Amino acid sequence: MIYELRLYAVAPSRMPDVHARFDDHLPALFTRHGVNCVARWTALAGPDAPRFVYLLAYSDFAEREATSASFYQDPQWLRIRAQTNAGHEMVQRHDLLFLKPHAAWLPDASPDTAVAGLHELVQQEISPGLNSEAHRFLADTWLPALREAGARVLGVFDMAAGTGMQKIVMLLAWPDAQTWHAGRSRMDRDLGMQAALRDQRERLGTTVVQRAEVNLLAPAAGAVIRAGLGRRA
């Protein structure tokens, strides 16, 4: 599978208009062209916040290319875009990432389970040449620690294409902001994490994880986000 993650910097005061476009105008058009939008959010905190963030799922790049070509050539989309922009572009800039499911992504719940709460998007940079070490650290230490801290792992991805290829991308769900804050504090104190990172510094001269870009996400009103994120076998 291939996922397309889009992050939109939205013009001041236009966030309700972006959500209205998705609620009122795009569902029928998405269905017509086979666009599978599996999640959408408002980024409450993070770079360029507030941002509109959404996730599309495809079988492969060929399906993505065919679907996109069909959608963007539809005259109805051009009418919707012009009508909802109302003479002024709502989206000032967008970042686009293509993601593929990571081997460590194991379901935390039935795929159809609705997942509410506060969500977190983590774009975690990995030290060059240490992908295998990073993947072991993720599966053996990092994800178990996140679950112990109270997070539900919604998705784990490798970069397939986009800015900053040396990344692991994670989507996490926390019950609320208080649990997120306490959980992140617990992660900083986690003895297993500290030991694993200390071992990496001693063996490798660095840690496998470097800087991260983090966005805190509020699920869009009326958009049900499922635990499986549309993942197909």
Do residue 62 and residue 124 come from a single domain? Answer: no
Section 141-155 average pLDDT = 96
- What is the distance between the alpha carbons of residues 146 and 75, in angstroms, rounded to a whole number? 45
Sign of CA dihedral 172, 213, 22, 55: negative
Section 188-196 average pLDDT = 94
Q: Which of 141, 230, 233, 130 is nearest to 190 (CA)?
A: 141
Residue 229 lies inside a defined structural domain of this protein: no
Question: What pLDDT digit, counting tens, does each position of 57-116 carry?
Answer: 999 999 999 999 999 999 999 999 999 999 899 999 989 999 999 999 988 889 999 999
- What is the distance between the alpha carbons of residues 176 and 96, in angstroms, rounded to a whole number? 27
Residue 81 lies inside a defined structural domain of this protein: yes
Do residue 115 and residue 86 come from a single domain? Answer: no
Facing residues of 173 across strands?
119, 152
Final residue in a domain of this structure, among 82, 99, 116 = 99
DSSP state of 3: E
Domain count, the chain: 2
Question: What pLDDT digit, counting tens, does each position of 12-27 carry?
Answer: 999 999 999 999 999 9
Q: What percent of the chain has pLDDT over 70?
A: 98
Do residue 108 and residue 209 come from a single domain? Answer: yes
Residue 61 lies inside a defined structural domain of this protein: yes
DSSP state of 47: T
Residue 230 lies inside a defined structural domain of this protein: no
Final residue in a domain of this structure, among 99, 132, 152 = 99
Do residue 94 and residue 107 come from a single domain? Answer: no
DSSP3 helix / strand / coil % (the chain, rounded to 5): 35, 35, 30
Residue 78 lies inside a defined structural domain of this protein: yes
Do residue 86 and residue 17 come from a single domain? Answer: yes
pLDDT at 4: 97
Do residue 72 and residue 105 come from a single domain? Answer: no
Do residue 105 and residue 214 come from a single domain? Answer: yes
pLDDT at 162: 67
- What is the distance between the alpha carbons of residues 6 and 203, in angstroms, rounded to a whole number? 37
Do residue 94 and residue 122 come from a single domain? Answer: no
Phi, psi of 169 (to 5 degrees): -115, 130
CATH of the domain at 174: 3.30.70.100
Do residue 134 and residue 170 come from a single domain? Answer: yes
Do residue 194 and residue 150 come from a single domain? Answer: yes
Domain hosting residue 44, numbered range: 2-99
Q: Quick check: helix, strand or coil at residue 48?
A: coil
Do residue 17 and residue 83 come from a single domain? Answer: yes
Do residue 106 and residue 39 come from a single domain? Answer: no
**Is 70:122 a contact under the CB 8 Å cutoff?**
no
- What is the distance between the alpha carbons of residues 36 and 21, in angstroms, rounded to a whole number? 16
pLDDT at 48: 85
Final residue in a domain of this structure, among 99, 133, 155 = 99
Residue 199 lies inside a defined structural domain of this protein: yes
Residue 231 lies inside a defined structural domain of this protein: no
pLDDT at 199: 96
Residue 157 lies inside a defined structural domain of this protein: yes
> Pick the residue with more confidence: 232 or 176?
176
133-169 per-residue burial string, b: 16 or more CB within 10 A, e: under 16:
bbbebbbebbbebbeebbbbbbbbbbbbebeeeebbb
